[in-house]
Structure 1
Amino acid sequence: MEGSRVVFIAGDGRSGGTLLGQILNGLSDSVYVGELRNIWHEAFEQNEPCGCGERFRHCEFWRAVVEKAFGSFEQLDVSAMLSMHKSLARERYTPMLMLLNRVPAELLGSELPRVYEDALSRLYRAIREVAGKSVVVDSSREVSQALILARIPGIDLRVLHLVRDSRAVAFSNSRGKPIFRSDNDASQHRKPEWISSASRKLAFDEDGATRILLRQGAVASALQWTWRNAWASGIPHSRHRRIPYTRLRYEDLVRDPREAIGGALDRLGLGRPDLSMIQGTHVQLGVNHAVSGNPVKFSSGGVDLRIDDEWREKMKGSDRKVVSVITSPLMHQYGYVI
């Protein structure tokens, strides 16, 4: 049986993973599906909007995927899947997975890891077959999820480690960001309405309930940035299996997306694809079927990339100093100047 080739975007949040996934979605042989680590709760349970604008359970793409992988929505025990995910792929298990290639449940002789990994194998294979593409792009970020995928025989994992200046990430984390606004009556399905502007955003009815990306303090952001990026940097040094890995800086992606993406995919052993949809810093984004992730997933059409460096003028001096101190070892390793 042909395996599912997965490009896993690892690293911290607010680093451009959704944007990178959208660009990769435009390649002839790739399909971007967002942060699949959140699919059981945010998609199956909460029925949040897919990148195409439809609610998850109303999206034709995901209905076809679920039917192929599990038979139907009704046949899948979502509560059991969410419980298994929490028992196996939590971020706290990253050190154990990296150093021992084990999770606590396995030490107790549980069959949950095998059952969960079989479900993931079927999910990724169904995505690939429904999309008619050979590469699934997953921006789940957390290394624990990547290491679980690396254990599955039916998945050919490649890790693209995306990093961004820790100060920019901390500044972004200090501001809440709306993800979407859902109807109070969950049984009433409404497709989000678009408004026209240079960068298109969603507009919603006033009676909706808004969910936002929560704010985070400077210290918490710096510690999380260090934790996630340090473990991602350790992937090529794993003693248990060789996982193709490369690192890409967000700033390089935005300055020269064609060279950055072409070089990264080449280093992952995927060759240099046709990137004709990128002209300079102008990229064409198509409709995607991303679950979870940044609200930029709802954008499509032509986009001019530019460095988001608002933090340089508006970030508090005290926040900048504390983030710089905590993250300086990795920042220097990644080529950033403090």
Structure 2
Amino acid sequence: MGDPRILYITGWMRSGSTLLGNVLGELPGVLHAGELHYLWRNGVLNAGTNSSCGCGRDLTACDVWSSVLGADGTAQAGAARRMAILQRFLLRTRHTRARLTEAQGRRPTAPGVVEAVGRTAAVYRALAASGGERLIVDGSKYPAEAAALLGRTDLDVRVLHMVRDPRATAFSYKNAKEYIDPMSPARSSGYWSAFNLASELVGGAAPERYLRVRHEDLCDRPREVVERVMRFAGLAGEPPVDETGLVSLRENHTVTGNPDRLSKGDTRIRSDERWRTALSAREIAAATAPALPVLTRYGYPLLPTR
């Protein structure tokens, strides 16, 4: 077996990464790990929400993850606390430029980064031996982590940058959900711009290992977009979704992510346009203003139709 192949999804939250990961996970030898960044805090320490495995069990009771994490709960907890600290201080979006500089060999990699990303690489190797021999999909969406992973010589990392209209993501964050806190439209779009601009930095540093797709295109042309992502990730074969967006989902082993990851059976990829009428004109304006630096570059209009 060669180096594990990783499709690391980056961009802002609520972009459709969970659904796309689950679709790819229907392919033989592909394992969708969900938002692996939260394995330590949510899964092992149980300190966050939405912390069960996609199979419905507690993470430490899941056959896949209990094998990956090992049986020593005390050691797991200590390592998990250490990982959560390293992630907080070294792998936030604001650290993207520094991690890229290290990955490109223009300055020595900080010891804490070596430790954190090395631990993640070890998890990837274990997952490659547990069903992800062709590809592991990691939907963590931290551009700095993607940048650090690109510097590893023992991993084959491809970065998929997913974007969605910032007004749609602002609508998703408007009301509290069990697994996410509410956020104002302006704040949501501020994060939207920061995460997407940081993701572009990663793409500029490694253009041959970077692909950007829009959520709206995935909904409009699901089979075409899934096939394009497959080819980018080095996967041959037919996409597991038809022209209408219908896909049959089985049990998965995702860490954190949209609770839709728990759904099984026939699912159709479809667009959610409720934001166009559910957001007020003032809320749409508030969500638009912080996104102006890249809004039209991604093909989104300044004045959306209602």
Q: TM over 0.5: same fold? A: yes
Q: Tell me, what secondary structure is at the counterpart of 2:140?
A: strand
- Give 1:1-338 correspondences, 5 Å limit: 2-46=2-46, 48-67=51-70, 72-76=72-76, 77-99=79-101, 101=103, 111-178=111-178, 212-238=179-205, 244-266=209-231, 268=232, 270-338=234-302
Structure 2 distance, partners of 1:98, 1:149, is 9
How big is each residue's C-alpha offset from its partner over 1:21-49, in whole Å with a ceiling of 9 and x where there is no partner? 11111112311011111111000100721
Question: Where do 5+ consecutive residues of structure 2 fail to align?
Answer: none
Structure 1 distance, partners of 2:280, 2:245, is 30
Contact 1:255 1:307 survives alignment (8 Å): yes
Of 5-14 and 90-99, more deviation after overlay is shown by 90-99
Compare CA radii of gyration and give the structure with the larger one: 1
Structure 1 distance, partners of 2:198, 2:288, is 19
Structure-2 change in CA distance of 1:79 and 1:257 (3 Å): same
Structure 2 distance, partners of 1:22, 1:132, is 13
Contact 1:127 1:136 survives alignment (8 Å): yes
Q: Over the residues paired in the alignment, what is the CA RMSD in angstroms?
A: 2.2
Contact 1:15 1:250 survives alignment (8 Å): yes
Of 33-42 and 78-87, more deviation after overlay is shown by 78-87
How big is each residue's C-alpha offset from its partner over 1:230-287, in whole Å with a ceiling of 9 and x where there is no partner? 111222211xx56511111111111221101111332x25154322443522111111
Question: Where do 5+ consecutive residues of structure 1 fail to align?
Answer: 179-211
Higher helix share: 2
Q: What is the TM-score of this pair, normalised by structure 1?
A: 0.81
Structure-2 change in CA distance of 1:243 and 1:292 (3 Å): farther
Deviation, structure 1 residue 323: 1.9
Q: What is the TM-score of this pair, normalised by structure 2?
A: 0.89
Q: Which amino acid aligns with 1:315?
A: L
Structure 2 distance, partners of 1:10, 1:231, is 9
Q: Tell me, what secondary structure is at the counterpart of 1:52?
A: coil
Structure-2 change in CA distance of 1:110 and 1:158 (3 Å): closer
Structure-2 change in CA distance of 1:82 and 1:171 (3 Å): same
Deviation, structure 1 residue 81: 2.3
Contact 1:150 1:243 survives alignment (8 Å): no
Higher strand share: 1
How big is each residue's C-alpha offset from its partner over 1:120-179, in whole Å with a ceiling of 9 and x where there is no partner? 22110001101253200000011011112112221111011111011101111112222x
Structure 2 distance, partners of 1:82, 1:329, is 32
Q: Tell me, what secondary structure is at the counterpart of 1:177?
A: coil
Deviation, structure 1 residue 327: 1.4
Deviation, structure 1 residue 72: 4.0
Contact 1:161 1:248 survives alignment (8 Å): yes
What is the percentage of aligned positions where both structures have the same residue? 28
Q: Tell me, what secondary structure is at the counterpart of 1:330?
A: coil
Contact 1:17 1:162 survives alignment (8 Å): yes
Of 294-303 and 327-336, more deviation after overlay is shown by 327-336
Structure 2 distance, partners of 1:4, 1:161, is 20
